[in-house]
Amino acid sequence: MNRRLFPRSSTLSAVLSLALLAVGCGSTDTTPSAPTPTFTFGFVNDSRASGGAAAKSNGVSTVVMNAIAKDMVAQNVALVVFPGDMVTGEVNDSALLGTMFDTWQGALAVKPLYDAKIPIYTTRGNHEYNPLTFGAANPADPSLATYKTHFPLIAGTTSATGAEAGLTYSFTYKNAKFVAFDQYANRTASFNNTLYAAGSNKGQMMGSWALAEVRNSTAGVTFVMSHEQLWPSTSHSDCMANDPDSRDALVTAMGAVNGTFLTGHDHMLLTGTVKNGTAKVPMIIAGTGGGGNYDYAACPAATCGAYSGPATFSLLKAISLSTNPTFGWVLVTVYSDNTWKAQFRSFQFNKWNDATDVSLTPITASYSFQSSDF
**Residue ranges per domain, the chain?**
36-373
Find how far residue 18's CA is from the centre of its chain: 56
Q: Show the CA angle centred on residue 337, arms to residues 175 and 331, nearest 5°.
A: 70
Mean pLDDT by 10 residues, the chain (374 residues): 40 40 50 91 98 97 98 98 95 88 97 98 90 50 87 98 96 98 90 91 96 98 98 94 96 98 98 97 98 95 86 97 98 98 98 97 98 98
Name the CATH code of domain 36-373 (choices 3.30.43.10, 2.40.128.50, 2.120.10.10, 3.60.21.70): 3.60.21.70
Residue 306: per-residue pLDDT: 83
In this structure, the number of other CB atoms found within 10 A of the CB of residue 18 comes to: 10
Residue 130: per-residue pLDDT: 67
